[in-house]
Structure 1
């Protein structure tokens, strides 16, 4: 691994850890943040960096945290670093083209930020796996939900394509 790649990876990891700590600390301390903070009853969490669906979930979790923290000056840089780390160069180009054309976020396919997200494995073949990302945009009994199919390369684990489910 080249020194530049290592630095990029370490920067993305450090920014993600810092933003996560910054988002979690007020909730644990019982203080209010700029957005409504909810403490979830999560007894444990785990992951596996070799699991392609887990990597999509890790990306969406960190990315949504970054764009949610719009008042934090490091948030935009973190979102950009996450895109560079998790998306293939072709996927990055496609996302950028979508954003220029639609004036909306090309990862979320929206202009705002979801309040919840979920990722599920939906299948694989030809060296790729597909994960379905479900984004929930509001709370309540009838929240708005959108879905995105995310294609990932099984060898590199990079996201190679994102398509909103219509």
Structure 2
């Protein structure tokens, strides 16, 4: 094999390896990393969006546990998004179980998803899926959340069974 052929072959192999690495690099990024194609939107009138907004903001505040404003923020979120009866139910759960009555856990999820599951009698039900770790065998729990369709306030939360 001539020197030129070997140089061309080595250059092609190096280029292919570099392109392969570049193609794989986005997959190595943290799952929560912002990508240029990410977009977020919302609808203030949508009950499912309202539940998703609450859980997103609440989990964000809980993750910022070292920030003194985060605790006050989490309490304010509860007061704004939950009906008085739901707030009492959450407080009772926390007193009895010594765990967070919004997440039904003592730790924090890494991801969450809200799915509409039905409505009737002036209420809508959504299921919140909480993912507790990364990887193929991540633990998942679900919470059924009931909301008033008129006020959009969360009126009941319970572990899905």
* TM-score of the pair, normalised by structure 1: 0.76
| Residue 113 (1) aligns with residue 80 (2) | no
Alignment of structure 1 residues 7-156 onto 2, 5 Å = 38-41=32-35, 42-156=37-151
- The superposition leaves residues 33-66 of structure 1 with CA deviations (integer Å, 9 ceiling, x where unpaired) of xxx9941325211100100000000000000000
Residues 7-35 of structure 1: CA deviation (Å, up to 9, x unaligned): xxxxxxxxxxxxxxxxxxxxxxxxxxxxx
- Alignment-derived partner of residue 22 in structure 1: none
After the TM superposition, list the runs of 4 or more consecutive aligned residues in structure 1 that deviate by more than 6 angstroms. Answer: none
Which whole-Å CA distance do the structure 2 matches of 1:47 and 1:38 have between them?
Answer: 19
Q: In 2, distance between residues paired with 1:78 and 1:96? A: 16
Q: Which moved more, 1:145-154 or 1:41-50?
A: 41-50
Which consecutive unaligned segments of at least 5 residues does structure 2 have? 1-29
Q: Give the aligned length.
A: 131
What is the alpha-carbon root mean square deviation over aligned residues?
A: 1.3
Q: Which has the larger radius of gyration?
A: 2
